Amino acid sequence: MTNYSSFDAQSPHNFYDYPLCSRYASEQMKHIFSPNFKFSTWRKLWVILAESEQELGLDFISDAQIQQLKDNIYNIDFAAAHAYELQLKHDVMAHVHAYGDVAPLARKIIHLGVTSAYVGDNTDLIQIKEGLLLVKQRLVTFIATLAKFAEQYKDLPTLGYTHFQAAQLTTVGKRATLWLKSFMFDLAEVEHRLETLEFRGVKGTTGTAASFKELFGNDFQKVVALDKMVTERAGFKHRQEVSGQTYDRKQDSLVLQTLANLASSAHKFTNDFRLLQHLKELEEPFAKKQIGSSAMAYKRNPMRCERISALAKFVLSLEMNGHLVHSTQWFERTLDDSANKRLSYPQAFLAIDAILLVLQNIAEGIVVYEKMITRNVMRELPFMATEDIIMDSVKKGMDRQEVHEIIRELSMEQARLVKQEGQENKLIEAILADGRLPINAHEIKDLLNPSNYIGFAPQQVEAYLQEVIQPMLERNQEFILTQSQEFGV
């Protein structure tokens, strides 16, 4: 057992280091959920409240008080706030007192008429909005990069797989559009969440605005105006029309669900990519000095995809928190949501941010091994070409059923030689050597052109990129990052 009598409490290396902050997430996302962002937002909300109350007729709130509040939004004495919280056992009141210390003129009107959820819940929603905007920025940038890859390789034939068994051919670019489609669903969900996110606004202690009935002399319309004014000044289009003490926790469920959906698409992408890397067809970027294994020096493990897979599982697990919290809230509110919310949605955003950073890094550096792709295609193509051989033989006068039986016999034998003896697929050579079918080597060579078996894959890629992806990118030019963040540890 650890001897804590010699424990060095001053060394940061003696405490748990949270990986999402120290290893994975970006500075931007970490800032959104930082104490500075949180508590300066509380102060901004107190300023908005005071300004709106004054504008609606509370003339005892002076311009000087509001100005002093504005001047000290970022002048946060965290040590003083901590000391107040130790004494008061209440985080919001601790910061009310700390704010009052640096804005003494305004002390008596800070937090006027509202409950803790005014700053707590509304700040949560502002953080969620800012987090979603950053997620959208990274997602749009990733989609733009992956779309370029799809365009570049729209004509390159590759084996299609169903059940991870070789099926008809597709193209490398067409497969990339399948990944794009999943991420486009996710982008639509992120945009929908941003468009419909509802601000808690100003609702009072149990949602009845009773304190404002007193402040505004029983004028309900002024209370409604205050709610709308604060919502608009906080940057939201919509407010929750009715509430208890808190905003409806269903919103947290929907946000976590949106992030989990994105995690699911990312995980699916890495599943495909890791299988293709095993087949030596595609490879994620591999740094010059990167080590794949401490023991096996030759290894080139898909560690980027594996990191995404690991983080995606974590985000998927966090989705349940939203449902658990929402379903167990009592009446106007209960506090067993608070600790969970402090953990679940900030961590989900940090993990999704990390996932998108790595996705972008992969998309910018995908290595394509065209000769290996062609080799794998040609290993299976003779079997796929047999249907055309049947049609050609029938056109030359043979009985379709007789041709089918000849090819079946030869195919079964070649399959046996491939599987049991490890030989190359020589079905075409066997058909020519057999001599029963009226087809020559030149004709068969034409039949073995992989491009004859990819259907309309190139055209489908072009149509999807032009009709779906490009219009989306044009609408979201301001969200496309010009340079991705360097991939970290």
Determine which one of 22, 293, 317, 327 is catalytic: 293
Strands of 290-438, DSSP E = 367-368
Strands of 193-255, DSSP E = 198-199, 238-239
Question: Which of 83, 92, 80 is CA-nearest to residue 120?
Answer: 92
Cα–Cα distance for residue pair 141/147, rounded to 1 Å: 10
Determine which one of 5, 11, 163, 442 is catalytic: 163
Backbone angles phi, psi at 282, to 5 degrees: -125, 160
Cα–Cα distance for residue pair 120/10, rounded to 1 Å: 31
The reply to whether 192 belongs to the active site is no
- Tally DSSP H helices, then E strands, for the chain: 19, 6
Instruction: Report the residue count for the chain.
Output: 489
Partners of 329 in the beta sheet? none
Q: Token pair for residue 140?
A: 């749009």
Supply angle C-alpha 255, 41, 323, rounded to 5. Answer: 20
Partners of 165 in the beta sheet? 162
> How many angstroms separate the Cα of 278 from the Cα of each of 270, 309, 362?
12, 16, 16
Q: What pairing do the DSSP bridges indicate for beta strands 157-162 and 165-171?
A: antiparallel
Cα–Cα distance for residue pair 333/245, rounded to 1 Å: 6
236: amino acid identity, one letter: F
Cα–Cα distance for residue pair 228/202, rounded to 1 Å: 9
Supply angle C-alpha 292, 294, 300, rounded to 5. Answer: 15
The reply to whether 163 belongs to the active site is yes
Alpha helices in 25-158 (DSSP H): 27-32, 35-55, 63-71, 78-88, 91-102, 116-152
Are 366 and 149 spatial neighbours (Cβ–Cβ below 8 Å)?
Answer: yes
Percentage helix, strand, coil, to 5, in the chain? 70, 5, 30
4: amino acid identity, one letter: Y
364: amino acid identity, one letter: E
Are 390 and 400 spatial neighbours (Cβ–Cβ below 8 Å)?
Answer: yes
Residues marked as catalytic:
163, 293
